[in-house]
Amino acid sequence: MLTRRTFLAAGAAAAHAQRQSRPNVLFIAADDMNTALGCYGHPIVKTPNVDSLARKGVRFDRAYCQFPLCGPSRASLLTGLRPDTTQVLGNNIDFRDFHPKAVTLPQLFKNNGWFSAREGKMYHMNVPGEVGTPKYQDEASWNHSVSPQGLENKTEGTGRKLNPPGVTFGMNWISAASPDGQADTNAADHALALLEAHRGQPFFLGLGFIRPHLPFVAPSRFYDMYKLDAMRPANNPPDDLDDIPAAAKKVRPQLWNNMKMDEPRIREALRGYYASTSFMDDQLGRVLSGLRQMGLESNTIIVFWGDHGWNLGEHTRWQKMSIMEQSARVPLIISAPGRKGNGKACRSLVEFVDVYPGIAELCGLTPPPTLEGQSLVPLLDNPQRRWKKAAFTQLKYEDITGRAIRTARYRYIRWEGQGGGEELYDHDRDPGEFTNLASKAVAKATLEEHRKILDSGWRAARA
């Protein structure tokens, strides 16, 4: 005989089974975050929480963004479309102006019954000026959408500007007394409250940290982790820039030549970036700890990504908007419960446009047929399998267009405008990309091969 107690127990069991079949997603973005992380082999930077996540999931060692700038990169990842399609080729552009009916990654979850929430920077947000505002955060993507406030450059503490007057995109750092008042602290607090409030239903939580983006604001204890005399400026050959096309050097030209910083200031800049990275890692750790304590970890897919790379003096270049390795390569870690590849590194080439179809597949959702990446789920079970022939990155700056491909061994770059030019680097022999082989007779066949790969486009390069 079916009693009320039996009926309720059966209902609870069914609800539990449904929750297990609809996994949660914790989708974490760090702003201007390159691969200067412990788990990616950096000898100095301390990131125990990112490192722990990498040990539980798959660390992608050759992941590349589609555009080395915040707005285009994030729009591409969250729509699953490449910049030529989104038409977002700079900051302060809303992809909805061109694709009003697009279904974004968080919107797909929202449309299928997940609680879709945002805390912090997911789409483009000017930092520091627009921190705490909802501008460009695409309200259609979310059931809950909040931009936590942050003191940013108004933070009290010690620090200084590192460039002479008149240098745009200037470098500056602030060592604060405490984490209070910072947007990332507030975002972590809000995320923990949301997890607690919605632990009984499937959720997609986009958590956007703004560190280590400039200004380098972090509590003093994170600055104390890094001694100035331990900072190691990039070691560039004296003739490094001689074989780089003029067009490349005209993209945000003030970012070359170390932005007029001398070596002591370069050390301060490195220290600021590392301290900000460790501060972000600490806030990440608070959220991951809360996820475990609430019993949600076993049914939550965790994705950690940086929106693009960031030069730290390589080739005398700082910041972004370069399509060499340091700006195009990004950190990407996916921890999906039960996958055979967990705890391993993947050396296959992947692109940010592959994230949307991958996360959708993991959760049993059907994404729009217009997506321009391919699901990377097979790599979560077999990180060693062969994958794409090439990863594609591009940029646009004034009348200059740059397009790059990264293949297993080489990086090829083509420039149009301001005289144009080509670059070709052999990563087996020249991982620092110091010797441009494009004009070398010995590389003629390789150059032609890579021209054809770029001309054939991303569809021909798919696995």
Q: Domain coordinates of the chain in residue numbers? A: 19-384
- The answer to whether 164 and 260 are in contact (CB under 8 A) is yes
Q: HSE (CB half, 13 Å, CA atoms) of 231?
A: 22
Q: Any idea what the Cα angle at residue 198 is, between residues 196 and 201, rounded to 5°?
A: 135
H helix intervals, 129-262: 183-197, 220-223, 246-249
Q: What is the DSSP-derived secondary structure letter of residue 229?
A: G
- Catalytic residue check, 70: yes
CA–CA dist 404, 408 (Å, integer): 13
CA–CA dist 74, 219 (Å, integer): 27
CA–CA dist 226, 236 (Å, integer): 23
pLDDT at 168: 87
Q: Is the pLDDT of residue 14 over 90?
A: no
Task: List, for residues 77-134, the tens digit of each pLDDT value.
Answer: 999 999 999 999 999 999 999 999 999 999 999 999 999 999 999 999 999 999 999 9
Q: Is the pLDDT of residue 13 over 70?
A: no
CATH topology of domain 19-384: Alkaline Phosphatase, subunit A (3.40.720)
pLDDT grade for 3, boundaries at 50, 70 and 90: low
pLDDT grade for 5, boundaries at 50, 70 and 90: low
pLDDT at 166: 87
3-state DSSP assignment of residue 164:
coil
Task: List, for residues 231-277, the tens digit of each pLDDT value.
Answer: 999 999 999 999 999 999 999 999 999 999 999 999 999 999 999 99
Count, in order, helices (H) and strands (E) of the chain.
13, 18
Task: List, for residues 215-230, the tens digit of each pLDDT value.
Answer: 999 999 999 999 999 9
- The answer to whether 404 and 443 are in contact (CB under 8 A) is no
Task: List, for residues 353-412, the tens digit of each pLDDT value.
Answer: 999 999 999 999 999 999 999 999 999 999 999 999 999 999 999 999 999 999 999 999
- Catalytic residue check, 124: yes
Residue of 70, 190, 213, 315 marked active site: 70
Task: List, for residues 289-322, the tens digit of each pLDDT value.
Answer: 999 999 999 999 999 999 999 999 999 999 999 9
Residue of 39, 65, 99, 124 marked active site: 124
CA–CA dist 209, 183 (Å, integer): 8
Task: List, for residues 33-74, the tens digit of each pLDDT value.
Answer: 999 999 999 999 999 999 999 999 999 999 999 999 999 999
pLDDT at 20: 53
pLDDT grade for 18, boundaries at 50, 70 and 90: very low
